[in-house]
Structure 1
Amino acid sequence: MTKQEMTPLHTYGWNEHWSLMAEQMPKQDKELVPARVTAQFSKQYRIITQEGEQTAVVTGKYEYEAGSKSDFPAVGDWVLVEPLQGESRAVIHKLLPRKSAVTRREAGSVPDEQVIAANIDTVFIINALNKDFNVRRIERYLIAVWESGAAPVILLTKADLCESPETYVSLVEEVALGVPVFVVSSLKDQGKEQLQDYLVQGKTVAITGTSGAGKSTLLNWLSGQEMQRVQGIREEDARGRHTTTHRELFVLPGGAIMVDTPGMRELQLWDSEEGFETAFADISTLSQQCRFHDCRHETEAGCAVREALQDGTLDAKRYANYKKTERELAHIARKEKASTRRQNKSSGKSLRKSGRVHQGAYQQLLYDEEL
């Protein structure tokens, strides 16, 4: 498809896959039109339809039926909407199944999943080559990206501040097994050509990392124009301010679609077992070589993990982060299970009070609660 033939939807990544997803929706939804969420502001959305840009909210029914916050649309989602006659507004009725979703645990005492961005092909994990460089944080981001279904790429930014970036590349490659690692500098216009294979027309790339890592600067540099405002960083710890306050899609001159996300001081993981196993595949492989299948890697004889720690082939700090993250994910799973149990118990009480529940249905609730 030539640029002259590109419609607003195709510009933002509409293709045969999404057309098929829309066609498979129930018959009553056939009158709705497809749109992509390009920005989110609390419960308000900016969307792109075949007719161009509009604002949107979800219907009351959608909000009522949503089981959790992750059921609501996020930036990058494809949705089916009903345009309001004579207005540049629409209401969102349906969410098309996601191909990928970068998520995190939302802050708060009640566990809930927050979708950072959806339908992402590649995630650029940004870490600056200054005092804020942190291998353990990169491991954490890798877990979330592998879990999302997108492909991770690590960008070490601000290479102009570092005398020997090769040293840092080696440190990252030791933990980011098989993940591309690139050194870039917007100030020196260095490394842009290495990223062109990912910046393909119709493909969506998300940028994530801490404040001050250079996400907005990277977006402006790759686009050749100031799409996002940037701010300086604190000298004492090289940390930045939250310049980006919301997630938003941008179309680059070459046709790639990019998502800039607000910086996160700490990425709270959510239900990331598969991502955890992929990010720490080397330790998982070592565990399979232990003499005992239930080895805890403490004092057991024939422990391949302890042997690797002793001979230096496994970095002690990496293993410590592995164990810390393993405990964290187990804690999240327990809290989520407890929350589900409380919700089931509350539902059972409400149903009994209403007198509209059969004994068999109530017994099923009790059974579900025990699982």
Structure 2
Amino acid sequence: MTGGGQRKELPRAGRERKRNDGAGDSATRNRTSRHLRPPRCGAGILGAAMVFHDGDERQKISGKRERYQLDGFRARGQYSPPMSEWFFVSDLHGHSGRYRRLFEAIRERRPEVVLLGGDLFPGGSGMRLLSQADADFEEEILFSGLSGLRRELGGWYPRVLAIPGNDDGRAGEEALAEGERRGLLSLIHQKCVPVRNWTVMGYAFVPPTPFLLKDFERYDVSRYVDPGAVPPEEGVHSAPADTDAIQAATIREDLARLAPAVDRGRLIGLFHAPPYDTRLDLADLAGRRIDGAPLDPHVGSIALRRFLEEREPHLALHGHVHESVRLSGNFIDRVGRTVCLGAAHDGPELALVSFDPEHPAEARRDLLPV
């Protein structure tokens, strides 16, 4: 179920192709015009449903308190630390102010776990198109900040789990691997790791987008791509890539291989992509067309949605579509029994999602000024 504006339906044939598990029609795909591009995820302005953190209260920009609802559950309006507090952020894009605000929140509230959900580095890092200031981000902001927290907090230093995003590319993955070598974080892309009595599963790939960098893009359930999207083998890869392997790989198959044989009630997924047709994958595409075909404003992964429906993990965490919460009015949704939380944000603030993993439907999302 989605919130926000009215959904624009794809033509019937388009919907069937999008959900089809077959090979797809490459001729039709190659005829798709790419001279028009949907806006980059994140374009837009701050909406009235967003909230700031002010002392111990969550407020609307207008000053009124805001509470999100999900299937009868309410997010807390007053902050009181849960028994076990975890932090989740995503799509920080190397913004130094957001990182400093995150480090301040970690220092003040001492969460048990911090989850970094991809698109963590400055724009252009994936294609190595950085200014010197951006190139210094890893040492001067990310590694320096985490190292400082480790010195200050000692045994209270949180477990930091991270995945790259589609805008980070392999360069971002290499940087996270360096952070792991320094003992500052754990890179968990395509891994399952134990965290106390939970298993956390990490996965960075997203379905094909209109953007050129394809290091962390995969076909979803078939070789169908949405109008305006660039197929993974036709974009840019920062490292040599096998075209046949790219064409054969899908998110559906990856998730089937990665899924652990654990109690699904103790599984938490850290994904960069959101699941399809939810409040968390709503892009600002309503009313837009390419070659006469209306664009589907829901840009999430069908394979991921099916995975959540079938495997029923306890909790799933998502980013990628910056404007989704502004458009839908909520950062919480459900797919079957799985609670889904979104941390992507299209404003200048740090969107910090905090939750007790035992009670994820009571999560809170604060917009912290930077």
Q: TM-score, normalised by structure 2?
A: 0.28
Tell which has more relative contact order, 1 or 2 (C-alpha 8 A, sep 6+).
Answer: 2
Which of 1 and 2 has greater Rg? Answer: 1
Higher helix share: 1
TM-score, structure 1 normalization: 0.28
